[in-house]
Chain A
Amino acid sequence: MDFSELIVILATAIATATPLVFASIGETIAERAGVINLSADGTILMAAMTGFAAALATNSVLVGFLAAALVGAAFALVIAFGAITLKQSQIAIGFVLALLGADLSSFLGNPVVLVPGPTVPAFNIPLLQDIPVLGRLLFQSDPLVYASYILIIVTWVFFYRTRPGLLLRSVGEQPAAAFARGANVVRLRYIYTLIGGALMGIAGAAFSLDFKAGWTNRSTAGYGWIALAIVIFGGWNPLRVAMGAYFFGILQSLASVAQSSIQSVPTQAFSVAPFVLMILVLVLTSGEWLDNLMSRLPLKVRRPILRAIRQPAPAALGKVFEQD
């Protein structure tokens, strides 16, 4: 494998990971506000189908993405209403929606299966594309991929450098304290759950209008679950989450390269990797053994190590906030 081949593989990996970036960043935003959107898999499928059908009907990719985002937000609204307003289990509602969305997308998407439709046009960014290596790697793709770069950076900046971002994190961490500081917890949770859902919807359209161009039943199946795993793997930090998505993309494209030469194991087997990594990360960061181990180190060394390894889940994740 020479160098230019490697660049091609990496560029493919970035493209493969793009829908996953949208989905996992969307999930990160919702979870940072304290709401688990377990419906990711169904949301993505339903949005992919709707987005494709809408784009087909209007011959506009943009309308397709808009429709997909709306579907994603609608699914999120059901979860937000059930979990925040009705105080039912987020897990139960999200899980049912994950299955329902998948089935509904196959059922309603029947007429548009394998119909050719519009796709996101390729677009090389002038000047940037000529940068050696990086240009080929990052800037000879399409607008959606560039949008995902922006999303990652904007989300990170929003989380860690803006006031509303700080408040978002505090709502997921300790809603009572955020409330005492004047935050409207219920409203903020609704807003961020919907935004997260809309991003998941865009992830769906990213499949059907770009990377898998077209609709077949359950064509994105599994990606929603992978997005959930990647959020944990990435410790609810947008940069790390994106790294997790790209890491998965690299695994996938390596697998497809390997398959052409080894031909024994299909790529599906590689889809397991994010889940194995997720469980390992959970084992590594949840247990008390890490604290016990670390307590032997001096405080100065211990703190940065712990901070690097341990990315705790938002403390109020999945919990109902009772006012009064």
Chain B
Amino acid sequence: MNAQLNHIYKSFGAVQANVDVSLTVQSGAIHGLLGENGAGKSTLVKMLSGFITRDAGEILLDDKPAEVRTPADGIRAGVGMLHQDPLDFPPMTVLDNFVAGKAGGLFLNRRDAVQEFKILADQFNFALDVDEQMGNLTIGERQQLEILRLLSLGVSTLILDEPTTGISASQKTALFDALRKLAGQGKSIVFVSHKLEDVEELCNQVTVMRAGHVVGTVDIPCPTSTLVSMMFGRELAAPVKPPTCQADIAMRIQGLTIGDDRIDVQVADLTVRRGEVIGLAGLEGSGQRLFLLTCAGVLRPATGKLYIRDANGLCEMTGKPYHQYQTSGVGYLPADRLREGLIWGLSIQEHVVLRTSSSGLFIDREASRQVADQAIQKFNIRGKADTRVGQLSGGNQQRTQLALLPSPLNLVLLEHPTRGLDIESTIWVWQQLIERCRNGTSIIFASSDLDEIVQYSDRVIVFSGGKVSTPIETTALTAGKLGEMIGGKFGNNGNSAYAGVN
């Protein structure tokens, strides 16, 4: 089935996720959708499947306008989507998951369902036990089930959103074989990914999106450099950070392994010097957040050791509780400011009070007011001491977070430090941070803005689907190299990281 999206618009509040996006997927083709985080890929395909409703534009299936407003519409029209986070029911069995939502008679017919399942599963060599509990399956197996389920619904357009994150190499091979087979049967496949390697290996055609717009569509094969420049757009900005690096060591890592239910991350040995800034590049969900949380003491690594310098020199911090990291001068600034960093209903002044280590019982309003006013002035926060942080703009929330960082600060971990900020605020935030570096603070920050990474880092580490590169001097970076690594093509850098050299 041909699927065609014409002039699609979608915004969430003030954010324009899709602007005049058009895309055509031919029957029998595997069409890649490539782009950075926030480029609008997922939003687009969710609208095609009916999971979210579009603001404007039309969807044509086999050249006929299709009314796809809900997933039920989507399924009826033959569009099925495999979501990035598995949308299934972990406590139920594989068979229940396979059947849930399927049309049919009132009663469930186990024998027919098992038979249908087996026939489909055998076609693709997926070995799944129908009575196993969904929650005990790997991500890859849950994906396999979901694909079988969508096929059993008779979809002729199959959308896969970042399907290769969190699955094993053999599962990936099986997945790709299955997708090629499906395309061969005349189905159209939309393959959303940020991994250049996967897209190059699998797709016939690729559409690249950037910041809610379509950049262009190219046929594969096509030089990697073309794809990279389409994805990231431009030459990288020049580094602007003055040297602040000092000789002594602020932090040392020995072979960390960190994992959650989606990815495992292995970070080889790493040494950070005082005043140094390390940028973590890569698409979101590639392991940077896990790494930052581990350095901040919020997560515990499965293996490996972590040393951080405080007033007493370099101390081992592995397995210590979070508050000990704080007393050692480690600060953490989350990206989701209102969910993780600040408390919506409390004022700036109240946040100042929360941060002061109180010896007394009562809040000293006078003193905290003064501190808050000073912070507001110094950090140029547009708000008053008694303004609730929820009512501040994003930039002012970030300024408030910075103002709340403890002093002295040995190490600060930042997630997307300038996301959602205007240029003026961005420059200002970094001025403050670099000022801290001059005083000996080390910074590790994750950002999906490559300019920011290159402008302000001394060294850069690239994360891609749990793979971690060795630190690269920023001066040795090129846009192409960085883009390839983010897309998962590590070359020698990645291997050496695994070998644990450096």
Residues in chain A within 8 A of chain B (CB atoms):
161-164, 166-167, 169-170, 173-174, 176-184, 303, 307, 312, 315, 324
Q: Do residues B106 and A164 form an inter-chain contact, with CB atoms below 8 A?
A: yes
Output the residue of A170, A176, A177, A183 with the most chain B CB within 10 A.
A177
Query: Which residues of B72-109 have CB atoms within 8 Å of chain A's CB atoms?
Result: 72, 75-76, 81, 83, 87-92, 96, 99-108
CB neighbours (8 Å) of A173 from chain B are 89, 91-92
A–B pairs, 29, beta carbons within 8 Å: A161-B107, A162-B106, A162-B107, A163-B99, A163-B103, A163-B106, A163-B108, A166-B96, A166-B99, A166-B100, A170-B92, A170-B100, A170-B101, A173-B89, A174-B87, A174-B88, A177-B87, A178-B100, A179-B70, A180-B81, A180-B87, A181-B100, A182-B70, A182-B71, A182-B75, A182-B76, A184-B72, A324-B52, A324-B53
Report the minimal beta-carbon distance from A214 to chain B, rounded to whole angstroms: 40
CB neighbours (8 Å) of B87 from chain A are 174, 176-177, 180
Interface string of B101-119 (1 = CB under 8 A from A): 1111111100000000000
Report Cα–Cα, A19/B108, bound state, in Å.
Answer: 30
**In-complex Cβ contact of B72 among A161, A164, A182 (8 A):** A182
Given contacts A163-B108, A173-B89, A176-B87, contact A181 B101 (CB under 8 A): yes
CB neighbours (8 Å) of B70 from chain A are 179, 182, 184
Report Cα–Cα, A178/B97, bound state, in Å.
Answer: 10
Report Cα–Cα, A227/B108, bound state, in Å.
Answer: 29
CB neighbours (8 Å) of A312 from chain B are 91
Seed contacts A163-B107, A324-B53; 13 additional CB < 8 Å A-B pairs: A164-B106, A167-B101, A169-B92, A170-B92, A170-B100, A173-B89, A177-B88, A180-B81, A181-B100, A182-B71, A303-B136, A315-B90, A324-B52
Q: Does B430 contact A (CB under 8 A)?
A: no
Output the residue of B87, B101, B105, B107 with the most chain A CB within 10 A.
B101
Report Cα–Cα, A91/B346, bound state, in Å.
Answer: 25
Q: Does B51 contact A (CB under 8 A)?
A: yes
Identity of the chain B residue whose Cβ is nearest the Cβ of A166 in the assembled complex: B100
Report the minimal beta-carbon distance from B45 to chain A, rounded to whole angstroms: 12
Query: Which residues of B337-390 have CB atoms within 8 Å of chain A's CB atoms?
Result: none
Identity of the chain B residue whose Cβ is nearest the Cβ of A311 in the assembled complex: B91
Query: Which residues of B225-263 have CB atoms within 8 Å of chain A's CB atoms?
Result: none
CB neighbours (8 Å) of A176 from chain B are 87
Identity of the chain A residue whose Cβ is nearest the Cβ of B87 in the assembled complex: A177
Q: Looking at chain B, what size class is its interface with the partner chain?
A: 20 to 34
Report Cα–Cα, A169/B92, bound state, in Å.
Answer: 9
CB neighbours (8 Å) of B91 from chain A are 173, 312, 315
CB neighbours (8 Å) of A315 from chain B are 90-91
Q: Which 9 A-B pairs have the closest CB atoms?
A: A181-B101, A182-B72, A177-B87, A173-B89, A170-B100, A180-B87, A180-B71, A166-B100, A182-B75
Given contacts A162-B108, A163-B105, A169-B92, contact A180 B83 (CB under 8 A): yes
Chain B interface mostly? loop
Report Cα–Cα, A182/B71, bound state, in Å.
Answer: 5
Chain A interface mostly? helix
**In-complex Cβ contact of A163 among B53, B104, B133 (8 A):** B104
Report the minimal beta-carbon distance from B70 to chain A, rounded to whole angstroms: 7
Report the minimal beta-carbon distance from B300 to chain A, rounded to whole angstroms: 15
Given contacts A161-B107, A180-B83, contact A170 B89 (CB under 8 A): yes
Report Cα–Cα, A303/B493, bound state, in Å.
Answer: 43
Given contacts A162-B106, A324-B52, contact A174 B83 (CB under 8 A): no
Report Cα–Cα, A184/B101, bound state, in Å.
Answer: 11
Report the minimal beta-carbon distance from B443 to chain A, rounded to whole angstroms: 35
Report Cα–Cα, A182/B437, bound state, in Å.
Answer: 53
Q: Do residues A166 and B108 form an inter-chain contact, with CB atoms below 8 A?
A: yes
CB neighbours (8 Å) of B100 from chain A are 166-167, 170, 178, 181
Q: Do residues A178 and B108 form an inter-chain contact, with CB atoms below 8 A?
A: no
Identity of the chain A residue whose Cβ is nearest the Cβ of B70 in the assembled complex: A182
Report Cα–Cα, A177/B76, bound state, in Å.
Answer: 17
Report the minimal beta-carbon distance from A278 to chain B, rounded to whole angstroms: 20
Q: Do residues B51 and A180 form an inter-chain contact, with CB atoms below 8 A?
A: yes
Identity of the chain A residue whose Cβ is nearest the Cβ of B103 in the assembled complex: A163
CB neighbours (8 Å) of B88 from chain A are 174, 177
**In-complex Cβ contact of A178 among B52, B101, B103, B133 (8 A):** B101
Report Cα–Cα, A58/B75, bound state, in Å.
Answer: 50
Identity of the chain A residue whose Cβ is nearest the Cβ of B80 in the assembled complex: A180
Report Cα–Cα, A307/B92, bound state, in Å.
Answer: 11
Report Cα–Cα, A217/B51, bound state, in Å.
Answer: 51
Output the residue of A170, A179, A181, A312 with the most chain B CB within 10 A.
A181
Report Cα–Cα, A162/B99, bound state, in Å.
Answer: 10
Identity of the chain B residue whose Cβ is nearest the Cβ of A169 in the assembled complex: B92
CB neighbours (8 Å) of B51 from chain A are 179-180
Interface string of B44-62 (1 = CB under 8 A from A): 0000010111000000000
Query: Which residues of B104-143 have CB atoms within 8 Å of chain A's CB atoms?
Result: 104-108, 133, 136
Identity of the chain A residue whose Cβ is nearest the Cβ of B52 in the assembled complex: A324
Report the minimal beta-carbon distance from A51 to chain B, rounded to whole angstroms: 31
Report Cα–Cα, A178/B105, bound state, in Å.
Answer: 18
CB neighbours (8 Å) of A183 from chain B are 72, 101
Report the minimal beta-carbon distance from B203 to chain A, rounded to whole angstroms: 24
Report the minimal beta-carbon distance from B41 to chain A, rounded to whole angstroms: 18
CB neighbours (8 Å) of B75 from chain A are 181-182
Report the minimal beta-carbon distance from B285 to chain A, rounded to whole angstroms: 18
Report the minimal beta-carbon distance from B232 to chain A, rounded to whole angstroms: 30
Report Cα–Cα, A170/B88, bound state, in Å.
Answer: 9
Report Cα–Cα, A167/B72, bound state, in Å.
Answer: 13
Report Cα–Cα, A166/B88, bound state, in Å.
Answer: 13
CB neighbours (8 Å) of A178 from chain B are 100-101
Report Cα–Cα, A174/B92, bound state, in Å.
Answer: 11
Output the residue of A161, A173, A180, A315 with the most chain B CB within 10 A.
A180
Identity of the chain B residue whose Cβ is nearest the Cβ of A299 in the assembled complex: B136
CB neighbours (8 Å) of A184 from chain B are 70, 72
Given contacts A163-B104, A170-B92, A174-B87, contact A181 B71 (CB under 8 A): yes
Report the minimal beta-carbon distance from A274 to chain B, rounded to whole angstroms: 25
Report the minimal beta-carbon distance from B423 to chain A, rounded to whole angstroms: 31
Report Cα–Cα, A177/B52, bound state, in Å.
Answer: 13
CB neighbours (8 Å) of B81 from chain A are 180
